[in-house]
Amino acid sequence: FYINNYWLLKAHTPGYVKIHEKKAWKWRNTANSLIHSFITGCGACLCFWWTPAMREDLIEPNTMASHLLISFSIGYFIYDLIDMAVNDRKAKTYELIVHHFMVISCFTVSMTQHRYAGYTLMALLVEVNSVFLHVRQLMLMGKISKNGAVYRINNSFNLGTFVVFRVLTLGWMTRWLLQHRSDLATSHFYIAGVSLAVIMAMNTILLQRLLNADYRQCPKPPVNDEHILKAR
C-alpha cells in the first residue's frame, strides 16, 4: 500500500489536486482505500461463493483464500492508520483511528486463531458499500456536480448498499454474536461486541452525515464532506 500510494498513485494524481499538497495526499489516500474496498468486498463475496460451508458456520471453516484476504485487509488498515496519523492530524481523524484499531483487533484474532473466518468475511462485506463511498469522495474532489447523472447514480448505489451491507449486515452480525456467545471464547466475544458497538455508532453518524450532505430538503449549514468517514 505504501508503494501504491507513493509510487503508482502519485504518478497518476490528477492535476487539479497536485497543486495542493494536502489535497493530493487526500486523493491518493482515498484512491488507495477504494482499491482495498474493491478487492476485499469482491473477495468476501467470492469466498462465500467458493465455500458454501462458510455461509452456514461462521466459526470453523477456513480456507487459504479467506486467510489471505483477511491478512491483506489487516495490512491495509495498519498502513492507513499510520498514514492518517502522520499526514492528517485533526479531530475527525481520531474517529477513523479508533475504527481501524477495532477492526485490526478483531481481524487479528481471526488470522492468528484460524477461526471466525466466516464472521470476519461478513464484516468485509461492508467494503462493498465503501466502494461507492470512496467514489463519491473522489467525485467531490473532482468538483463533479451533485446534480449530475453520474453523481446521482453513484449516490443511489451508495445509499442502497449502505442499507444492505452496513445496516442490515451489522445488525445481523450483532444478532449472531448474541446467539452464539457460548461458542466463542469470552475474550473473543467481548472484543467483537465492543468493536461492533463502536462501529455501529460510527455508522449511524456516517449515515446522518450522508443524508444531510446529499438528501437534505431544507436549507441548513453546509456539511463539510471531508468530515464524512471513510468506512472500512
DSSP-assigned states of every residue in 30-93: HHHHHHHHHHHHHHHHHHHHH-THHHH-SSS---HHHHHHHHHHHHHHHHHHHHHHHH--SHHH
pLDDT at 188: 96
The verdict on residue 232 lying in a domain is: no
The verdict on residue 149 lying in a domain is: yes
Q: How many domains does the chain have?
A: 1
Length of the chain: 232
The verdict on residue 51 lying in a domain is: yes
Residues 100 and 155: their CA atoms lie apart, in Å, by: 25
pLDDT at 228: 54
One digit per residue, the tens of pLDDT, for the chain of length 232 reads 888 887 888 777 888 888 888 899 999 999 999 999 999 999 999 999 999 999 999 999 999 999 999 999 999 999 999 999 999 888 788 889 999 999 999 999 999 999 999 999 999 999 999 999 999 999 999 999 999 999 999 999 999 999 999 999 999 999 999 999 999 999 999 999 999 999 999 999 999 999 998 887 544 545 555 555 454 4
The verdict on residue 187 lying in a domain is: yes
The verdict on residue 21 lying in a domain is: yes
Asked if 102 and 198 touch (Cβ cutoff 8 Å), the reply is: yes
Residue 130: partners with Cβ closer than 8 Å, 6 or more residues away: 33, 34, 37, 41, 230, 231, 232
pLDDT at 204: 94
Take residue 29 and report the three cell numbers written for it: 489516500
Helices marked H in the chain? 2-3, 10-11, 15-18, 21-50, 53-56, 64-87, 91-113, 117-124, 126-141, 149-162, 169-179, 186-214
Cell 484460524 maps to which residue?
A: 114
pLDDT at 68: 98
The verdict on residue 22 lying in a domain is: yes
Q: What is the pTM of this model?
A: 0.88
The boundaries of the domain holding residue 9 are: 2-227
pLDDT at 117: 98
pLDDT at 78: 97
Residues 69 and 39: their CA atoms lie apart, in Å, by: 9
pLDDT at 196: 96
